[in-house]
Structure 1
């Protein structure tokens, strides 16, 4: 089957947290025989900050951030059996959704893939006449990056025919154990861009413990933190290319995951960083969110902190040997249960079941 996928970017992870998710899932689907074209706009300097070349397993079409260019690529939805519009494309999302749905063949499977369901649902609740809400009746299926029952129930209540979470996972070809790198030496590392709905939690779970443990070393990676007040034992290194993520994850004694406010509130939303860190064999400390035990076993495969004091206490009592053992267990768990190959099996079954129903309805 041909897939036309309209998303933020496949070739650039610059201000684009969904890149790893897209790459892992689409590569695995391509290995199952899908013919995929990914359409992405040239916005936010992403094309100037590519971290991979267009892959062999997916055709990438980059279009200018102009209305006519958008309409041109949207018209190509008519060539596919599966048409996917993702959330957060970054240029005229509402118009793109309308144009893609208009161009899609009647028998095509039409999917909205939400990579930030809490934010999207917040918009829909605030605007009953939101274009996406009006379009749900034309969409066969909503897939989400995470969210569990709260997100599924909310989408169905707003008119979605069906909603299924497809969780993040590990791509062992890109995230795996590597040698430690002295550039990333630290007791605790955190990698994440500065975002309004995560900043206070980063202060609480990372910067406050750093101030409380002056003899420990902390490393902060990600964009936007340059003017943020922080203690002298925090080494801010700015943007970290995806090619260095494995080394960043495996070098510190432990690495930290901090969820955005909305993700933590909804639960069942493991960030890509969780699986990237586990895939490198890192010892991961994460803030608490509902459902984490479905992915990693607390105290054995991941360490869970409910506040900044927990982070300080965990780090103060964590030996290098303990950290290494936790990281090894996490790696074994995600390789066994949480790879994109296994997620793709689920997506493939969903596509085939829904496509068959759509064909029957169109006859």
Structure 2
């Protein structure tokens, strides 16, 4: 089964200030390796244009467009003829694009929600990229979140088929690197107001207490007036090609979950998989469903207080640290690679196609009876 796939997403050319690019790159490369033809369509916007870090897509292609009107004019035939058309969350003019795609695409249509907890929390208040009325029009809803989110999407919003498609770690990029240990604990993530209190609790406060240790925070968009303890090094932006070296230079790395993700649960961050693949043990806040991704205190270390963090940094033996890291790395390779996600997507495509074909046959079967009833005035 070799599919012609078109993806319309937020960005794949730039990882600056977003987690979408690395997720798409890993998935699309895996799909291409499995023999599928993949095209990614991205709106050309200044903030990604100025920070592009994708130079050579691996077996798939990227096309940039300038405006909403460009899509039907330049790519109308591609979208109509594709076996599968995927629209991602946070795409500019996403609702209008979804309306047009679901009306004109002949193949299976899917919405890929890389921001499911945010979407479900804000959907009734109005979003730029998705409306409740659009959800039933997609054949398939791909959700970054598993667990109860899938039933909500189907039962409350009428999706004919909601399935989980988590992020993953690209093992070509994310693997242990031989590098000197520079930091006891680090964090990689774009600034978010709802994550900042957790960063204060689990990294800044331990940094103030363990003054002999070194810490690091990498990520864009942090306010300039933030005060950092002297033991914390700041890196404004880190390209994906540098992530593995960054993780490998830490004894431990920190995962912080956004408030909507913690509330909904079952929403792993891409950094969990990437750090684990690099052989760096992860300290994480707790959220429902974490145990379905990694085994707590065996493959991942769950922390609730700053004291939990300082105790681990100060007292955990090197043998225990390495054992936890190795278990997490094995888990990623067993369950959370791009190839796993590509095979899942193929399965979901077949499921959606079968469901759509069955619905079409049922509609065709019912048509003659309905026509007769109308002609005889019985309806």
**TM value normalised by structure 1:** 0.92
Q: 1:327 — aligned with what?
A: 325
**Runs of 5+ unmatched residues, structure 1:** none
Q: 1:204 — aligned with what?
A: 201
Of 141, 150, 153 in structure 1, the residue corresponding to residue 151 of structure 2 is 153
Distance across 2 between alignment mates of 1:131 and 1:237: 34
Larger Rg: 2
Q: 1:355 — aligned with what?
A: 353
Following superposition, the deviation at residue 305 of structure 1 comes to 0.6
Following superposition, the deviation at residue 70 of structure 1 comes to 4.1
**8 Å Cα contact 1:81-1:109 kept in structure 2:** yes
Q: 3-state SS of the aligned residue for 2:183?
A: coil
Q: 2:373 — aligned with what?
A: none
Following superposition, the deviation at residue 362 of structure 1 comes to 4.4
The 3 A distance-change label for structure 1 pair 159 and 338 is same
**8 Å Cα contact 2:42-2:64 kept in structure 1:** yes
**8 Å Cα contact 2:167-2:270 kept in structure 1:** yes
Structure 1 residues 74-129: Cα deviation after superposition (integer angstroms, max 9, x where no partner): 6241121111111112x222222222223312xx1111110001111122232499
When the two chains are superposed, the root-mean-square deviation of aligned CA atoms in Å is 2.1
The 3 A distance-change label for structure 1 pair 305 and 29 is same
Q: 1:308 — aligned with what?
A: 306
The 3 A distance-change label for structure 1 pair 202 and 73 is farther
The 3 A distance-change label for structure 1 pair 29 and 110 is same
Following superposition, the deviation at residue 181 of structure 1 comes to 4.9
The 3 A distance-change label for structure 1 pair 256 and 52 is same
The 3 A distance-change label for structure 1 pair 152 and 359 is same
Q: 2:183 — aligned with what?
A: 186
Distance across 2 between alignment mates of 1:334 and 1:287: 19
Structure 1 residues 278-305: Cα deviation after superposition (integer angstroms, max 9, x where no partner): 1101111111111222222222221111
Q: 3-state SS of the aligned residue for 2:5?
A: strand
Distance across 2 between alignment mates of 1:115 and 1:272: 10
The 3 A distance-change label for structure 1 pair 44 and 97 is farther
1:133-144 maps to which residues of 2 (within 5 A)?
A: 133-144=132-143
Structure 1 residues 148-198: Cα deviation after superposition (integer angstroms, max 9, x where no partner): 22x11221212211211111222211211111156xx11101111101222
**TM value normalised by structure 2:** 0.88
Distance across 2 between alignment mates of 1:22 and 1:275: 15
Q: 2:225 — aligned with what?
A: 227
Q: 2:100 — aligned with what?
A: 99
Following superposition, the deviation at residue 57 of structure 1 comes to 1.8
Q: 2:369 — aligned with what?
A: none
Structure 1 residues 11-55: Cα deviation after superposition (integer angstroms, max 9, x where no partner): 221112022221222222222222111001112521322222241
**Runs of 5+ unmatched residues, structure 2:** 362-379
**8 Å Cα contact 2:207-2:215 kept in structure 1:** yes
Following superposition, the deviation at residue 67 of structure 1 comes to 3.2
